[in-house]
Structure 1
Amino acid sequence: MAPPFRRVLGAELVVPALDTDRLGTFSGEVPRPDALVETALLKADMLFEAMPGLDCALASEGSYGPIDRVPLNPGGVELLAFVDRTRGIRHVETLPTHRTSWRLQRFAAGDPARLRALTEMGFPAFGVFVVCSSDMSQPIKGLATVEAVIEAMDREARRSEDGLAVLYSDMRAHKNPLRMKVLRAAGWKLARRLATLCPKCHAPGWGWIDSRRGLPCEACAAPTHWIDFEIDGCPVCGHAAARPRKDGRRTASRLSCRACR
């Protein structure tokens, strides 16, 4: 987060020592107390509690796993919540991504495929968790060597009711270089958004808030499911304005029109 905020906004980030694990862990033993947005805002509130003189707070929250429609292709979303309590700004920026190393596999004790799986997951540059398949409440973290992972997997498999241990990706940012890159991209996105001022009240954060479908068909002019125009808005005064599609397209292909099929 620091480089984009420094270069775009001239702002320096301070990271206090806070235990955010009580708001959920990627290893699963502590469930997230609420949805992504609400949890990120709770983290921001923790910052204000820890530093009473603070005006602005930035918090992140992420979620990774299999995609519902394409379960073999994992994906994720990074969410950044920025709160400026002096100006009354509460802005949430999201960045969906398919760039993730997230994997989850099950192995029996002694399975030779474990070594190949670890290599494919990028270990040790990318961290991993190991847990018993029938009791996932006590994941093993901080595994630094292949020998330690194999030993943990054999131990957890033997105590599991189905004889399997679960090996899955450690998605904590400091243990996952690819997630760090996605977070950095999200930071640039948020910083540029905050650098854009509302044309009406001049508060930071002017940008996209919604899209409207209904781009007319090129043949019959009937509305289609394609995006017709975008809507930009202000997080403070609520001012909003429509703008054309970025690609400049004014009609949709007749192949997308229900009336022309």
Structure 2
Amino acid sequence: MFKDTTAYFHGRTAILATKHGKEQVIAPALAALGIQVEVAAAIDTDQFGTFSRDRPRCGTQEEAAEAKANLVLSETGADLAIASEGSFGPHPQCPLVPGDRELVLLVDRLHDLKLWGEVISLDTNFSHATIRSLSDALTFAKTVGFPSHGLIAMVSSDPIPNTPIFKGIKTVEELEAAIAALHPHSPDGRLHLETDMRAHMNPTRMGVIASATAELVKAMQQGCPQCGLPGFVATETIPGRPCALCGAPTSQTKAVRYRCQRCAHVLSVPTQEPLADPSQCYFCNP
């Protein structure tokens, strides 16, 4: 169904905007397409926002990723850039459970192309706690994968000006020292402890970034059947798969619609399973 896209990417160099080791999972995936990844080490991506909230994120998750990629392109003169941005909060399908939404963006100035890889995952240790002592801190730490996963300690969940924030805590000694340094700044003895969600401090998140990169690679490999442009991806699901018992349309997907960014070619592909389970039918299972 898809045209080969090898000629678009093979032999090129992509500049990655990161200071948190994301090249560990992004570079091997792009190498399979013949792309060499170089890190833009001189660019401070924290200027676009930090998980510790001492620097608010600029705009939406998508806008922050684009700002990173565009800065890399303007600062380096490259024509191919990669940027990643994560966001944590209630999972859209399971609001009581935390989720990790990861975006990996490719901006190709040579072909005027923008492609995304996206994953929304329940696989995250995103959490926080109010503590008063090292004992409280260690109790929380055990639940979030410490010490393989780092911690952040601060006086309050909302950063207070002129008070310290301790990031990348990965030993009991570092945790104890952070608590001792923060206590004089707390009027009631309570402190805020949370998971460090930066990729190099969070192996679980790094795995989700790898999955999002795999989705990006898939988009890069899917060339439009008409003009060949990469990024011929599903943009819409069409409901109405008929019930296997009564034949009535259900809310289940019956086809997926693909659309080209350049020539607007559209292709609807039926799902592999032609009939829906009667348990999903409004008539058979009202």
TM-score by structure 2 length?
0.82
Residue of 147, 166, 185 corresponding to 2:173? 147
* Alignment of structure 1 residues 208-227 onto 2, 5 Å: 208-227=234-253
Residue of 124, 131, 141 corresponding to 2:154? 131
Cα contact 1:134–1:160 (8 A) shared by 2: no
Residue of 40, 59, 65 corresponding to 2:83? 59
Over residues 190-232 of structure 1, what are the superposed CA-to-partner deviations in whole Å (9 max), with x where a residue is unaligned?
1132022111111112222221112122333332111111112
Q: What corresponds to 2:60 in structure 1?
A: 35
SS in structure 2 of the partner of residue 185 of structure 1? helix
Q: How far did 1:161 drift?
A: 4.4
Q: What corresponds to 1:44 in structure 2?
A: 69
Cα contact 2:117–2:217 (8 A) shared by 1: no
* CA distance in 2 between partners of 1:28 and 1:121 (Å): 20
Q: Which amino acid aligns with 1:152?
A: A
* Alignment of structure 1 residues 88-103 onto 2, 5 Å: 88-103=112-127
Cα contact 2:134–2:176 (8 A) shared by 1: no
Specify whether residues 139 and 257 from structure 1 end up closer, same or farther in structure 2 by C-alpha distance, changes over 3 A only. same
Over residues 37-65 of structure 1, what are the superposed CA-to-partner deviations in whole Å (9 max), with x where a residue is unaligned?
1211111111111112x111111000123
Cα contact 2:151–2:195 (8 A) shared by 1: yes
Name stretches of at least 5 consecutive residues in structure 2 with no aligned partner: 1-25
RMSD (Å), alpha carbons: 2.1
Q: Which amino acid aligns with 1:128?
A: L
* CA distance in 1 between partners of 2:268 and 2:157 (Å): 52
* CA distance in 2 between partners of 1:177 and 1:117 (Å): 18
What count of residue pairs does the alignment treat as equivalent?
256
* CA distance in 1 between partners of 2:35 and 2:168 (Å): 33
Name stretches of at least 5 consecutive residues in structure 1 with no aligned partner: none
Cα contact 2:243–2:250 (8 A) shared by 1: yes
Specify whether residues 222 and 125 from structure 1 end up closer, same or farther in structure 2 by C-alpha distance, changes over 3 A only. same
Sequence identity percentage:
34
* CA distance in 2 between partners of 1:72 and 1:129 (Å): 23
SS in structure 2 of the partner of residue 141 of structure 1? strand
Q: How far did 1:144 drift?
A: 4.3
TM-score by structure 1 length?
0.89
* CA distance in 2 between partners of 1:161 and 1:69 (Å): 39
* CA distance in 2 between partners of 1:33 and 1:111 (Å): 34
Cα contact 2:155–2:182 (8 A) shared by 1: yes
Q: What corresponds to 1:183 in structure 2?
A: 209
SS in structure 2 of the partner of residue 241 of structure 1? strand
Q: How far did 1:71 drift?
A: 5.6
* Alignment of structure 1 residues 221-240 onto 2, 5 Å: 221-240=247-266
Residue of 151, 166, 170 corresponding to 2:196? 170
Q: What corresponds to 2:17 in structure 1?
A: none
Specify whether residues 70 and 107 from structure 1 end up closer, same or farther in structure 2 by C-alpha distance, changes over 3 A only. farther
Cα contact 2:235–2:257 (8 A) shared by 1: yes
